[in-house]
């Protein structure tokens, strides 16, 4: 699809980064004199985060074309993301300019956090194609996006957003501020009162969230969390026990303090004391690193937002692996990051195993043992590994893995990986024995004929002697 973005601020820049990092070219219009610098910095942080987030080979990034006008940006576009400031008159003016040039079947999605599609569509020539696609910051990492407006345009937007690794939630009926911001607004109102009344500082409130229920919410929603709080009796017991408290005067939810100079000064000063030691880009990187860590933990448990990472990795592998030609198979590569090095400045031992494990995963996908196959109740388990360390690797080195199939039978296959630098120096090898298993029964099981056929096809390329170290153990030393 041809993508366009109107607005390159915090949200618009995040959208642009997600488009580009997925390999899409995007035409951008933003009249701000510093727009290119701002978007460039956001894209740099997003690229840094994605390298940490995904183990699969990332797509070649798309390109950004800076347009001199809205018309130039949206001409011929299939999907247009509008992310201009929250003023309805401004959005109407921008949408009129978009509609004057964009194809009639183009999806026009607004990032608005508060306006309803019916308000955005006032006076539109083709109102049904104007929808809300409201994300959360940082757009290039957080998957959820609220899609409001219904119809064919919402369906097309959902399909695209899913391919971008997002979790679109289609909201059946429009409402001011959609869903996410209404929930956040409730917490925000209470927080303002707690600061206003001198009960807590901004840091107190943030600590309670980030060290407490915020961690729960990162992997499980409100209702599911409360269901667990009800114990074995479930949600009904929870509602019976805690429901009456909703009538108690605990909250000032329907009231809000005046944001007078005193309260604004208090909040600003406390926030400066809390976070002022870090610049905005530093805070973004700290936030991104924390989110990447949470994503990896969730992915390891196949839970919540972690599933979006796994799905994207499978998609990246599927895109990269069919391009592999020749033999040994070149299915995986990695770059040594600074976090992978030890006190000697070399890549540490367990990172070699990670590279070999990722290369094995790529081979499994190559022969059809992918996520869909595993959901059918079968997988492959590594039962033996032998790694040799031959040369040093340092931060920044690009490593290519060459994979050979040394043998297989009905239940097992034996892989050999060779890790080489971009210059061709072999730095490590690994030999793995994998066993095909029935995961429901927890025991070894024969592979289906179609997988044996794929292994046969790979084995037919394995000519000549095996590496002389293949099958050997660690050399004996001493007496």
The one-digit pLDDT tens for each residue of the chain (479 residues) are 899 999 999 999 999 999 999 999 999 999 999 999 999 999 999 999 998 898 888 999 999 999 999 999 999 999 999 999 999 999 999 999 999 999 999 999 999 999 999 999 999 999 999 999 999 999 999 999 999 999 999 999 999 999 999 999 999 899 999 999 999 999 999 999 999 999 999 999 999 999 898 988 888 888 888 888 888 888 888 878 877 877 777 777 777 788 889 998 998 899 889 888 888 889 898 989 889 889 988 888 888 888 889 889 888 877 766 666 789 999 998 989 888 999 999 999 999 999 999 999 999 999 999 888 998 999 999 999 999 999 999 999 999 999 999 999 999 999 999 999 999 999 999 999 999 999 999 999 999 999 999 999 999 999 889 999 999 888 777 75
At the topology level of CATH, where does 3-178 sit? Rossmann fold (3.40.50)
User: Whose structure tokens read 């969230």?
Assistant: 209
Q: Longest Cα pair distance anywhere in the chain, in angstroms?
A: 90
Report d(CA 33, CA 71) in Å as an integer: 19
Report d(CA 377, CA 382) in Å as an integer: 17
Whole-number CA gyration radius for the chain: 27
- Dihedral over alpha carbons 190, 191, 194, 195 (to 10 degrees): -150
Report d(CA 170, CA 146) in Å as an integer: 6
- Cβ-contact 333, 186 below 8 angstroms: no
Q: Does 324-459 carry CATH code 3.40.50.300?
A: no
Q: Where are the domains of the chain?
A: 3-178, 181-277, 324-459
- Cβ-contact 401, 426 below 8 angstroms: no
Contacts of 142 (CB under 8 A, 6+ apart): 135, 136, 291, 305
302's torsion region: left (phi>0), alpha (psi -120 to 50) or beta? left
Give Cα 433 to chain centroid, integer Å. Answer: 32
- 249-263 in b/e burial notation, b at 16+ Cβ within 10 A? eeeeeeeeeeeeeee
At the topology level of CATH, where does 181-277 sit? 1.10.1040
Give Cα 267 to chain centroid, integer Å. Answer: 32
Q: 108 forms bridges with which residues in the sheet?
A: 80, 130
């Amino acid at each position: 699809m041809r993508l366009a973005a109107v607005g390159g601020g915090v949200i618009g820049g995040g959208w642009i980064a997600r488009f580009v990092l997925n390999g899409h070219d995007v035409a951008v219009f933003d009249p701000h004199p510093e727009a290119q610098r701002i978007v460039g910095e956001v894209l740099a942080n997003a690229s840094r985060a994605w390298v940490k987030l995904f183990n699969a080979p990332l797509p070649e990034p798309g390109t950004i074309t800076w347009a001199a006008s809205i018309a130039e940006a949206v001409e011929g576009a299939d999907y247009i993301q509008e992310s201009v400031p929250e003023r309805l008159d401004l959005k109407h003016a921008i949408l009129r300019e978009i509609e004057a040039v964009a194809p009639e079947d183009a999806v026009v999605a607004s990032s608005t956090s508060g306006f309803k599609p019916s308000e955005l569509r006032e006076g539109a020539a083709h109102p049904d194609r104007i929808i809300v696609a409201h994300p959360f910051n940082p757009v290039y990492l957080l998957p959820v996006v609220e899609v409001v407006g219904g119809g064919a345009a919402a369906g097309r937007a959902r399909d695209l957003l899913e391919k971008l690794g997002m979790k679109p939630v289609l909201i059946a009926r429009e409402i001011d501020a959609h869903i996410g911001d209404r929930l956040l607004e409730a917490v925000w109102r209470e927080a303002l009162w707690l600061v206003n009344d001198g009960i807590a500082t901004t840091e107190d409130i943030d600590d309670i969230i980030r060290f407490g229920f915020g961690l729960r919410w990162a992997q499980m929603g409100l209702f599911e969390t409360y269901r667990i709080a009800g114990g074995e009796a479930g949600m009904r017991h929870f509602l019976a026990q805690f429901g009456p408290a909703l009538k108690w005067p605990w909250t000032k939810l329907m009231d809000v303090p005046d944001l007078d100079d005193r309260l604004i000064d208090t909040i600003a000063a406390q926030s400066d004391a809390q976070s002022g030691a870090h610049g905005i880009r530093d805070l973004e990187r700290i936030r991104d690193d924390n989110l990447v860590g949470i994503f990896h933990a969730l992915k390891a448990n196949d839970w919540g937002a972690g599933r979006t990472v796994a799905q994207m990795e499978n998609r990246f592998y599927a895109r990269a692996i069919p391009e592999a030609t020749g033999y040994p198979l070149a299915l995986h590569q990695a770059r040594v990051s600074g976090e992978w090095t030890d006190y000697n400045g070399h890549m540490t031992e367990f990172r070699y195993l990670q590279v070999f494990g990722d290369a094995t995963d790529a081979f499994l996908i190559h022969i059809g043992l992918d996520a869909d196959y595993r959901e059918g109740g079968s997988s492959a388990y590594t039962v033996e590994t032998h790694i040799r360390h031959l040369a040093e690797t340092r931060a920044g080195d690009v490593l290519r893995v060459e994979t050979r199939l040394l043998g297989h039978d009905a239940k097992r296959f034996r892989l050999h990986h060779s890790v080489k630098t971009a210059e061709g120096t072999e730095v490590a090898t690994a030999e793995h024995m994998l066993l095909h298993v029935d995961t429901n029964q927890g025991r070894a099981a024969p592979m289906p004929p179609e997988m044996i056929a794929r292994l046969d096809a790979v084995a037919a390329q394995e000519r000549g002697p095996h590496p002389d170290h293949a099958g050997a153990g660690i050399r004996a030393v001493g007496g």
